[in-house]
Copies of this chain bind each other. A is one copy, B any other.
Amino acid sequence: MTEDTPKTVRKRQARGEKRIAELLDAAAEVFAEEGFKGATTNAIAARAGASPGTLYQFFKNKEAIAEALMARYVEHLRRAHGEAFDLSVARLPLDRMLDRIVDPLIAFDRANPGFYALLSDPHLSPELAGAKKPAQKLMFERVDAMLEARAPGLQPEERRLTAEVAVHLFRGLLPMIMAADEAELPRVSDETKRALRGYLAPRIGVEPAVE
């Protein structure tokens, strides 16, 4: 209600939104280095080249920072991998399908260590846990849809479990993926696909279902 769209007060936010982006960038780094609990609002502000007061002008509290950061990540994820999870890849042989899905995921996670830090932190407040749910849900639903397109005969319940396990398997290897340097990455990436293939092949087959 009273949702005005004033002609004025538009360029105003330009500065502010840039500051917000800077603060989120800083928060991503600090969260990645220190974890959520270990991160300090003052440290985040300092890294963004801002003062604590500025930070609290845009974010109600520390949790709000993490929530906004997660929201931004989800947005990125949705865009960056809308095509990675295009259902057309479900018709590729399993090996190629995994190439098409896993490579972008690895690239995204390595490019966004803050995302990994927040997502893998098991000790978040209920609100924060709620904030990271959309990201998990997004991933899970994409995998589930992929499995359905790939193996229509699979029971929904079994498919659900398979998708969840597959996501966890990938996440289990994330520490290795994140720690690997550029030279080791191909091997780690390869092992990731091997593991997923080994788990998935008995359930969805190596070749796509005929239609």
Check A195–B176 contact: CB distance below 8 A. no
Closest residue of chain B to A33 (Cβ to Cβ) is B123
Contacts of A95 in B (CB 8 A): none
Q: Is residue A201 within 8 Å, beta carbon to beta carbon, of the partner chain?
A: yes
When chains A and B are docked, how far (Å) is the Cα of A199 from the Cα of B192? Answer: 9
When chains A and B are docked, how far (Å) is the Cα of A201 from the Cα of B201? Answer: 12
Give how many copies assemble into the complex: 2
Contacts of A134 in B (CB 8 A): none
Size bracket of the A interface: 20 to 34
Q: Is residue A194 within 8 Å, beta carbon to beta carbon, of the partner chain?
A: yes
Q: A52-83 interface mask toward B, CB cutoff 8 Å, 1 = contact, 0 = none?
A: 00000000000000000000000000000000
A–B Cβ pairs within 8 angstroms, 18 of them: A35-B37, A35-B122, A35-B123, A37-B38, A38-B123, A117-B122, A121-B122, A161-B187, A164-B176, A165-B176, A168-B172, A168-B175, A169-B169, A169-B172, A169-B173, A169-B195, A170-B172, A197-B198
| Chain A residues in the interface with B (C-beta under 8 A) | 33-35, 37-38, 117, 120-123, 161-162, 164-165, 168-176, 187, 191, 194-195, 197-202
Q: A35-B121, A161-B187, A165-B195 given; name 10 further pairs at CB < 8 Å.
A: A37-B37, A120-B122, A122-B175, A168-B173, A168-B175, A169-B173, A172-B174, A194-B199, A195-B198, A198-B202
